[in-house]
Amino acid sequence: MRERHRSRYGRYAGGPDPLAPPVDLAEALDAIGQEVMAGTSPERAMREFLRRGGRNQTGLDDLARRVAEKRRQLTQRHNLDGTLQQVKELLDKAVLEERKQLARDVMMDDGDRALREMQLDNLPASTAAAVSELASYDWQSSDARQAYEEIKDLLGREVLDQRFAGMKQALENATDEDRAAVSEMLSDLNELLEKHRLGDDTQQDFDDFMAKHGDLFPENPRNVDELLDSLAQRAAAAQRMLNSMSAEQRAELMSLSQQAFGSPELMDQLARMDDNLRALRPGEDWDGGERFEGGEGLGLGDGTGVLQDIADLDDLAEQLAQSYGGARMDDVDLDKLARQLGDSAAVDARTLQQLEQALRDSGYLRRGTDGDLRLSPKAMRQLGKSLLRDVAERMSGRQGQRDLRQAGAAGEPSGATRPWQFGDTEPWDVTRTVTNAVVREAGSTGGRAATGGRAATGGRRATGGRAATGGRAASEASDQSRPQVALRIDDVEVQETEARTQACVALLVDTSFSMAMDGRWVPMKRTALALNTLISTRFRGDALQLISFGRHAQVMDIEELTALDAKWDKGTNLHHALLLANRHFRKHPHAQPVLLVVTDGEPTSHLEPDGEVAFSYPPHPLTIAYAVRELDNAARFGAQVTFFRLGEDPGLARFIEQMARRVDGRVVSPELDDLGAAVVGSYLGDRSPMSAFREEWGYGGDRGWWVG
């Protein structure tokens, strides 16, 4: 009984592993975002990631490489004369055994022996012709006769194995009845195919055929179309094998095939079947061929199987290339891939399928009005969070804290309290307010002096003293079972908060062609996205405006900027960008202006009074003057100005230094990888030490922690 209930465990074979973890989209989304910011469409970026794969994920390119390698091995390992070589070996054996028998047979007439030896000596060089000439030879040796009969049996099994996989093994040591059954099957099959060509067949016809001959079809087709598909694929591969042979090999084989089972009617039935299959499945590759260069000979059946494998590999190569219109990972035939490369390859492909589907279903990609895929706001937020993590890592140990203008305004609670004053909007401290009322009520009965009352401290008692006396007063009030406590204005205390300055931030990013040409395009976009994510998720009270400036400037939202393609845009119009930044500052008169300028070139264009753009290189003095004038206007708003200089151009360095000194601003010359950290750090400020980083990223300062 114990044996009956023992459990056996093995690999799960019912499809995808139900316990496998879900696909990780973070790496894919980050890679896609990088490509999009470099100017690639999201659809193409997704395709590129699926091609390359991830850190622990095999990509389509690797699978395609393995497919190509297996195809190369098949053609370089094999040749197609395996059956011809086997026939030649059997023929040589038969002739040798016959010569031995003639030499041993002393009872044979010398004239008869000489005639037979002459016939053997004069056999044609062609194996097929020799086999045909010996068809009527009266063999004296039983071993020779058996070897010759093996030739006919081998040919019969090989030509059948070409059309029906496994038939070579199935008919080994077959009897005449077995061969008759195969011949009857071919006749019935051709009748079924011809009825199907005319449209006169029924499912019952197919069922009757399978009931009679189903043991010869291990694929177990369910209808005539499935039967046709398997037969046509095999027959087309057999034809491609013939096409791959040399003319001499093909002629030899066709001649030998007439000796199959010693029955020419077999080849007639097979030719009839091939004609039917060609007519019913003209889309199969009937005319192709391969060049085989190896030393391992293939028989007709095995060669046909190799040609089928090559056809499968070609299909897989096309599916994995995903180069046709409307290509999807679902197009990859996982069963075929497992058959050719193993289960692990199918698992890798299935994971890529799930990844593609998850990217489409998760909301990270969406169709625009033009039908093209685009990154959704959800994807932008996720990508921004990833960039912030990178920024936080680079900022670890740096300094950064925003300036405080005043204390006591609305903001984060500091933990202290104070009496309410007219005009206060801070939240009440309910516990202390009620305690004050209880203490006051108790004091009105003569215990007020014992409480260290408000008068003694000017209305601001020590916290510890208030807690202790408040507790006693509350106990006394409870003992006296007072039904309620009446509040007065002087009982009310409010929570003190640390001030949080609202910032009005203008991020000006250079989008002239030099930014793209010198590899600064993507770092610029990453910086803008990181700052946009930080402000939109952690400092929602701040107003950020992204301004791009090339030949002219324009305000952009983050989606427009990240999708912006590099253009050959002559001009760096800092003047126009500063005009837009000052307009932004005017709209937020009570906020602290912050001006951040990322550029790799001096101003070379400006706006004329009529709105036209004037371009000049080297920079015209008027262009410089216009830019300086708008920078002075920003300084009048009280803007904190930081220039981020990219590149090592001495002229740009001198210009930026002079501009910064003019408005008491700063100049930062970061490496490209540190640009995001430099801009975010400047936004957060650099007036007091950063306290720590927490969890995935964080910034400790007067604005509190921002954590992702």
Q: What is the pLDDT of residues 412-451, one digit of tens each?
A: 566 778 888 766 767 888 888 999 988 888 877 654 444 4
Indicate whether 401 pLDDT > 50: no
Phi, psi of 528 (to 5 degrees): -60, -40
Indicate whether 367 pLDDT > 70: no
User: Domain limits of the chain?
Assistant: 25-78+313-375, 81-291, 411-499, 503-684
Indicate whether 167 pLDDT > 70: yes
Q: Identify the pLDDT of residue 187.
A: 92
pLDDT: which is higher, 105 or 326 = 105
What are the distances in angstroms from CA 73 to CA 64, 69, 205, 388, 499?
14, 6, 43, 48, 73
Q: Identify the pLDDT of residue 620.
A: 92
Lowest mean pLDDT among 81-95, 188-202, 684-698: 684-698
685: left (phi over 0), alpha (psi -120 to 50) or beta: left
CA distance 306 to 296: 12
Q: Identify the pLDDT of residue 202.
A: 93
| Residue position matching structure tokens 């324009």 | 554
Indicate whether 461 pLDDT > 70: no
Q: How confident is the model at residue 248 (pLDDT cuts 50, 70, 90)?
A: confident
Q: What is the mean pLDDT of residues 166-170?
A: 79
Q: Identify the pLDDT of residue 189.
A: 93
Q: How confident is the model at residue 93 (pLDDT cuts 50, 70, 90)?
A: very high
pLDDT: which is higher, 577 or 4 = 577
| Residue position matching structure tokens 């992204």 | 546
Indicate whether 609 pLDDT > 70: yes
**What's the residue count for the chain?**
708
| CATH number given to 503-684 | 3.40.50.410
Q: Identify the pLDDT of residue 14.
A: 58
Q: Identify the pLDDT of residue 397.
A: 44
Q: Identify the pLDDT of residue 406.
A: 35
CA distance 529 to 386: 10
Q: What is the mean pLDDT of residues 573-587?
A: 94
Summarised one tens digit per residue, pLDDT across range 24-71 is: 677 777 777 777 666 666 777 778 888 888 877 888 999 999 999 999
In DSSP notation, 376-419 reads: -HHHHHHHHHHHHHHHHHHHTT-B--PPP--BSSSEEEEEEEEE
What are the distances in angstroms from CA 502 to CA 539, 558, 676?
9, 21, 22
Indicate whether 360 pLDDT > 70: yes
pTM of the model: 0.59
Do 13 and 497 touch, CB atoms closer than 8 A? no
Indicate whether 693 pLDDT > 50: no
* DSSP reduced 3-state for 360: helix
Summarised one tens digit per residue, pLDDT across range 207-219 is: 999 999 988 888 8
Q: What is the mean pLDDT of residues 150-171?
A: 84
Summarised one tens digit per residue, pLDDT across range 183-202 is: 899 999 999 999 999 999 99
Indicate whether 702 pLDDT > 50: no
CA distance 705 to 498: 13
Do 388 and 707 touch, CB atoms closer than 8 A? no
Query: 127 exposed, middle or buried (CB, 10 Å; 0-12, 13-18, 19+)?
Result: buried
| Residue position matching structure tokens 């002229």 | 651
CA distance 529 to 381: 9
pLDDT: which is higher, 454 or 67 = 67
Indicate whether 475 pLDDT > 70: no
Do 291 and 75 touch, CB atoms closer than 8 A? yes
Indicate whether 23 pLDDT > 70: no
Indicate whether 500 pLDDT > 50: yes
- Report the share of the chain in percent with pLDDT over 90: 26
What integer best gives the mean pLDDT of the chain?
79
pLDDT: which is higher, 412 or 104 = 104
CA distance 499 to 404: 7
- Report the share of the chain in percent with pLDDT over 70: 78
Q: How confident is the model at residue 630 (pLDDT cuts 50, 70, 90)?
A: very high
Q: Identify the pLDDT of residue 94.
A: 93
Indicate whether 267 pLDDT > 80: yes
CA distance 683 to 677: 10
Q: Identify the pLDDT of residue 573.
A: 93
Lowest mean pLDDT among 146-160, 406-420, 511-525: 406-420
pLDDT: which is higher, 415 or 283 = 283
Q: What is the CA radius of gyration of the chain?
A: 44
CA distance 160 to 260: 9
Inter-helix orientation angle 300-321/60-77, to 10°: 160
